[in-house]
Structures are given as structure tokens and as C-alpha cells.
């Protein structure tokens, strides 16, 4: 079993993509199950096979610890690690190719709490990768784009897993905007030029420094766009995951 953790800022489209990608995999004849790891999810755009809410309820945590919703989210994220054994014992009953894991709405609850490392280990670190979603509304400007990419790099640094970068909700972008963002990622010179053209000086200086750090760590590469609504780019997730796990050989499709 190979695990795909879908991560990204709140509202970047994780849950929707998990649902759309599962459907796409089904259509391609690849077995997958879906795990909801967001105890705060009120409604989900898919039917989870395994659901953290079975073990952790946000309203119970609020009552038990006397917390508001934000504090309860943090405690719930930490409780994830405490309950992970129960969850993985259910999980081991499945025989499937891919496990699609929908992570908590707020990125930091997954990426920046120790419990996420315990969770990844429980799922099997060797067989795991990240699908990092960038919300196009956050990365339309060069500055926003650099911020989103740096955040992605931090997530990868925290979790130490292979990662693919996806620009989500591409149906909301004009063709020109989409092209520009894809270019920023694959052609550092273009991003460099656009950062220099940006009018706010202090921001530009920080942007340039972050840009250089990105260049030095070699995180520039390929970013792919995906739209759950138009069902485009889903095949790219599959191809990229096959490449990461199996070196490109398609071992699963019927
Ligand atoms: N237009 C468009 N909207 C999307 C797409 N994916 C998600 N959304 C919308 O973006 C919002 C947040 O999506 P959700 O999957 O809940 O984000 P999450 O917080 O990362 O799980 C919802 O209103 C979705 O309907 C997409 O591909 N295209
Ligand atoms: Mg969600």
C-alpha cells in the first residue's frame, strides 16, 4: 500500500481533490481507500473508508478540556498520535493499492506538530509521499508565489517525504495566469524578473533572499496544475506517484 498525504493551507482544495482523485483512480482500475484525518471536518465531499472522527470528536475535546474551537483543534491534532494505533489496526484489514489521506484543514496542525511524524510513521514512512496544494488565490503575485513555495518547502523539510507540487483549482485561473505561475516554478529567471518588477521594495528584498534560498536548495522544478472541478491534472498525480514509488513503471492499472 502506498500512502498519499494531501496537504495545503485551509481551503486549498485538499478534501475535494481526495474525492476527485479517488474517483479518477477507480475509473483507471486502481484500488484506493480514503482516510479522513481532519477531526474538525463538518462535511466531506467523499465517503471516507476510515474516519478519525470515529475516535476523536472536536465537540468532545472542547467540552472535556474546556477549550474553544481553535484550542480544541490543536489538542485534537495531538490526540491523533494517541489514537493512531487504533486507526492503523483498522487500516491493516484493507488490501488496496493506494491510501489517500485527507489532512486537517489548517496546514500547521499537520505539518508543524510532532504528532504528524508519529502518524506518518504509523502509516509507513517508506511508502508515503506528500501532495502539496497551492491555492491560486494565494500565489497570483510573485511575492505570494514565493511564500507558497517556501511554505511547501518547510512542510517537506518537517515531514521528510517525497513531495509533488500542485497548483489547485486551475479552472479558476485564466490561461495566461496559469501559464505565468507554471513558468515561475520551472523558469527561475522569469520569477526573478517579476520579483524585481514588483513595486514594494522591502518585500522585494525578502523575496529575492527567499528566492535565492529556493534556488540553492534545488526546489525549483515542476509544478503541475490540477482542477477537481474539471477533473484535469489527476493523471499527473498518478504519473508522479508512480515515478516516486516505482520509478515510473505502471504496476497497478488493469
Ligand atoms: N473552482 C474550484 N473550486 C474548488 C476546487 N477544489 C475545491 N474547490 C472549492 O474550494 C473550497 C475549499 O475546498 P476544500 O476541498 O474543502 O479545501 P480543504 O480545506 O483544503 O480541504 C470549497 O468551496 C470547494 O468547493 C476546484 O478544483 N475548482
Ligand atoms: Mg478539508
Kindly report the CATH number assigned to the domain that includes residue 140: 3.40.50.300
Classify residue 252: in a domain, yes or no: no
Q: Nearest residue CA, atom 10 of ligand 1?
A: 13
Q: How confident is the model over 207-234, as a mean pLDDT?
A: 84
- At 25 the pLDDT is 98
More confident residue, 5 or 150: 5
Best probe residue, ligand 1, of 11, 20, 133, 225 (max atoms within 8 Å of C-beta) = 11
Cβ atoms within 10 Å of 196's Cβ, excluding its own: 11
**Residue 108 pLDDT class (50, 70, 90 cuts):** confident
Cα gap 138→146, rounded to integer Å: 10
In the DSSP assignment, the letter for residue 134 is E
Report CA(185)–ligand 2 centroid distance (Å).
25
Classify residue 85: in a domain, yes or no: yes
Classify residue 107: in a domain, yes or no: yes
**Residue 242 pLDDT class (50, 70, 90 cuts):** very high
Question: Is the sign of the CA dihedral 23, 41, 114, 108 positive or negative?
Answer: positive
Q: Nearest residue CA, atom 7 of ligand 1?
A: 13
Classify residue 170: in a domain, yes or no: yes
Residue span of the structural domain in which 82 resides: 2-246
More confident residue, 223 or 61: 61
Classify residue 169: in a domain, yes or no: yes
Cβ atoms within 10 Å of 210's Cβ, excluding its own: 17
Amino acid at each position: 500500500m502506498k500512502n498519499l498525504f494531501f496537504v495545503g493551507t485551509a481551503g486549498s482544495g485538499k478534501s475535494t481533490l481526495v474525492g476527485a482523485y479517488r474517483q479518477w483512480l477507480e475509473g483507471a482500475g486502481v484500488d484506493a481507500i480514503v482516510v479522513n484525518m481532519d477531526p474538525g471536518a463538518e462535511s466531506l465531499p467523499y465517503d471516507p473508508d476510515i474516519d478519525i472522527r470515529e475516535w476523536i470528536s472536536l465537540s468532545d475535546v472542547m467540552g472535556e478540556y474546556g477549550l474553544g474551537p481553535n484550542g480544541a483543534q490543536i489538542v485534537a491534532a495531538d490526540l491523533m498520535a494517541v489514537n493512531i494505533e487504533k486507526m492503523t489496526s483498522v487500516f491493516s484489514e484493507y488490501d488496496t493499492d493506494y491510501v489517500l489521506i485527507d489532512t486537517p484543514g489548517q496546514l500547521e496542525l499537520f505539518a508543524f506538530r510532532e504528532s504528524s511524524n508519529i502518524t506518518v510513521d504509523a502509516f509507513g514512512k517508506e511508502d508515503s509521499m506528500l501532495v502539496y496544494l497551492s491555492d491560486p488565490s494565494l500565489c497570483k503575485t510573485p511575492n505570494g508565489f514565493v511564500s507558497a513555495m517556501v511554505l511547501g518547502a518547510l512542510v517537506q523539510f518537517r515531514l521528510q517525504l517525497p513531495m509533488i507540487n500542485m497548483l489547485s483549482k486551475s479552472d479558476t485561473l485564466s490561461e495566461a495566469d496559469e501559464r505565468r505561475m507554471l513558468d515561475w516554478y520551472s523558469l527561475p529567471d522569469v520569477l526573478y524578473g517579476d520579483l524585481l518588477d514588483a513595486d514594494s521594495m522591502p518585500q522585494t528584498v525578502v523575496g529575492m533572499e527567499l528566492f535565492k534560498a529556493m534556488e540553492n536548495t534545488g526546489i525549483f522544478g515542476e509544478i503541475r496544475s490540477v482542477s477537481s472541478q474539471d477533473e484535469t491534472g489527476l493523471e499527473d498525480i498518478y504519473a508522479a506517484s508512480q515515478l516516486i514509488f516505482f520509478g515510473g513503471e505502471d504496476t497497478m492499472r488493469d
